[in-house]
Amino acid sequence: MLRLLETLDPSRRAALVGSLLTGLLLVVVTVALVGSGDRGLAGTAVVLLVSVALVISLQTFIGNSGILSFGHVAFMGVGAYATALLTIPLAIRESQLPELPALLAGVELGLPWVIVIAGGLCAGLGLIVGAVFVRMNVNAFVMSTLALLIVVYTVMVNWATVTRGGQGVFGVPRLIDPWIALVAAVVFIGVARLFKASGVGLRVRASREDELAARAAGIDVPRVRLLTFVLSAAMMGAAGSLWSLNVIAFDPDQFSFGMTFALLAMLVVGGRESVFGAVLGAMVVVVITEVLSRIEQGVVIGSFELPRITGTVQFALAALIIISLIRRPEGLVGRREAEDFVPRIRAWLARGYAGGADAAASADVSATPVQAPTPAAQASETAPAESAAPLLVGAGISKAFGGVQALDAVDIEIRPGEILGVIGPNGSGKSTLLNVLSGITLPDAGRVSLGGRDITGQPSHETARRGITRTFQNIRLFPHLTLRENVAAPHGSSRGRVERLLASLDLAGLGQSEADTLSYGMQRRLEISRALSTRPSVVLLDEPAAGMNESESDVLLENIRAIARDDGCAIIIVDHDLRLITRLCDRIQVLETGRTLALGTPDDVVANPAVVAAYLGSG
């Protein structure tokens, strides 16, 4: 078993280990509750385990995409009603729903088919509505999920021939016990963790960290969000099926804001980006809910009976959310999963209580000291073949913002293996030119072609997939992902290639560190590594040396030379560091007020009187 784990990718290995540890926690809790002999506690165990399935279904979307959803309880309701219609005994069904369509009137199913059907039905519904939602901006997406909840609730109330409306349905057989619920909860945990570690899971997490950077790296953000939404909807439908098989009677009011509020409270308390956190949040909220629900029903202490207080549960959950957001906005465990606590526990056990804090700190991967980069060996320059056909061509590119003409009929071309520098004063259109070439900005006029193929107006993720990737003037990484994940996110590069890319830019040995723990210069090199991960034919570097000292700039220069030499990439670099540009580039193009002022070799451009007057200064 250990040998098998060692052969797995680190993220998948962590997912399996974390699933086992989280599942083990649920086993211990379930055995303790059921083993007490108290039927009430055994019932609480089932409620807890079903709640785990529900909140993990919600966490699969919210935690990975970073987008709030108020509508997932609608899928829970659809799954619950579908299960009721397929499991209620036929005799009871005839009396409850005499006008039920013939297709449903004579069907009676059991486990596991009802759960599979409920999940499949919600996956289809999720695909239909999700295909619309993912085309919206994030704020519109969130509001649309709220509309979905209201619409589905309204249908449940008014479609009386199928749902019995406000009267609710009853007679659903109780087909699950604590052990079936435990198995189901562990399966949900495993699915959520494996999805998080998958290629789609990694890409949707990258879009959560920085949507613009994800698109520029070649990630089709709407597609990965849709896949995540559909999976989450299917899981929520299956969890709703489990829920209905435990409560046996319900009405539409149980699939409205109250349930949504409770599930969101679980995520906020435990940590919305962590599956383990979702489980802990479910435990906290279920305990509070169970205790306060009994208080709401009235408590007798000796001969004194406390008055019934309604709304206690909702008030407590609201207070819990507010306190969590103030004191621990990332939840009890933040982004950490169960396996992340193993080194801390080992160190704590090894040193005892007194040294636990120090041991935990030393075991924290993110606290690994970052070594200073070793300057790359001097690279021999290889000039591009003059006879080679241009690889990337921009012809007559124009772009205006309001009344400001950022680009005015700019022509640009670059050959394979060439390094082209673009310089000019602030506001001359350099970054706008890179935005047009990379598909982030649509030009008002002109065309862009790559390898003879017109790519004008293509979205940035398509442009990246065709071979143009980029870095940004202000570093745009996926800060809470590891270095390996940053580089692998665009197209799931193999582990070997990821390690080679990191090593080529002096980042070897830091793959498991989070990107936001790196120094400024290292973050710049990581951004370049990510741009190279898709094997691009053209790389656009927007002020890569900004903020670097001279020694860091020298290291960057050698890194860029090595990229052009070893990968054969054409590189367009925008920077204000003339020392870097003149030493590095084969040609330099000078922009002024959106137009090309000069184009030629570094020596020619530096000696050009117009450039000296407009850019370098006349003395």
Residue 54, pLDDT > 50, answer: yes
pLDDT in tens, 388-416: 788 999 999 999 998 899 999 999 999 99
E-strand stretches of 250-326: 299-301, 304-306
Pairing of strands 595-600, 468-470: unpaired
Under 8 Å CB-to-CB from 458, ≥6 apart: which residues? 439, 466
Instruction: Look at strands 419-423 and 587-592 and give their pairing.
Output: parallel
**Structure-model confidence comparison of residues 567 and 387, the more confident one:** 567
Angle 465-470-475 from CA coordinates, rounded to 5°? 135
Nearest Cα to Cα of residue 430 among 578, 569, 572, 527: 572
Query: How high is the pLDDT of residue 387?
Result: 58
What confidence category does residue 534 fall into, taking pLDDT thresholds of 50, 70 and 90?
Answer: confident
Residue 374 clears pLDDT 70, i.e. is over it: no
Q: What is the pLDDT of residue 289?
A: 84
Beta carbons of 397 and 412 less than 8 angstroms apart? yes
476 with 503: CB under 8 angstroms? Answer: no
Q: What is the pLDDT of residues 428-472, one digit of tens each?
A: 899 999 999 999 999 999 999 999 999 998 999 999 999 999 999
Give per-residue pLDDT as tens, 263-295: 999 999 999 999 999 999 999 988 888 877 777
- pLDDT band at residue 304 under the 50/70/90 scheme: low
Residue-level pLDDT at 127: 98
- β-pairing verdict for 404-414 and 538-542: unpaired
The structure tokens listed for 158 are 């008014």
> pLDDT at position 5, please?
56
Written as six digits, the tokens of 479 are: 């800060």
Q: How confident is the model at residue 303 (pLDDT cuts 50, 70, 90)?
A: low
User: So what's the pLDDT on residue 600?
Assistant: 93
With the CA atoms of 88, 94, 98 and 103 taken in that order, what torsion angle do they form, in degrees rounded to the nearest 10? 60
For residue 40, pLDDT beyond 80: yes
Beta bridge partners of 538: 468, 570
pLDDT band at 371; cut points 50, 70, 90: very low
* Threshold 0.75, pTM exceeds: yes
Which pLDDT band, with edges at 50, 70 and 90, does 359 fall under? very low
Q: Which pLDDT score is estimated for 357? A: 44
Binning pLDDT at 50, 70 and 90, where does residue 246 land? Answer: very high
The structure tokens listed for 397 are: 């590119």
Evaluate if residue 379 carries a pLDDT over 60. no
**pLDDT at 4 (0 to 100):** 56
Q: Which two tokens stand for residue 396?
A: 């007559």
Read off the pLDDT of each residue in 91-101 and give the average, rounded to a whole number. 79
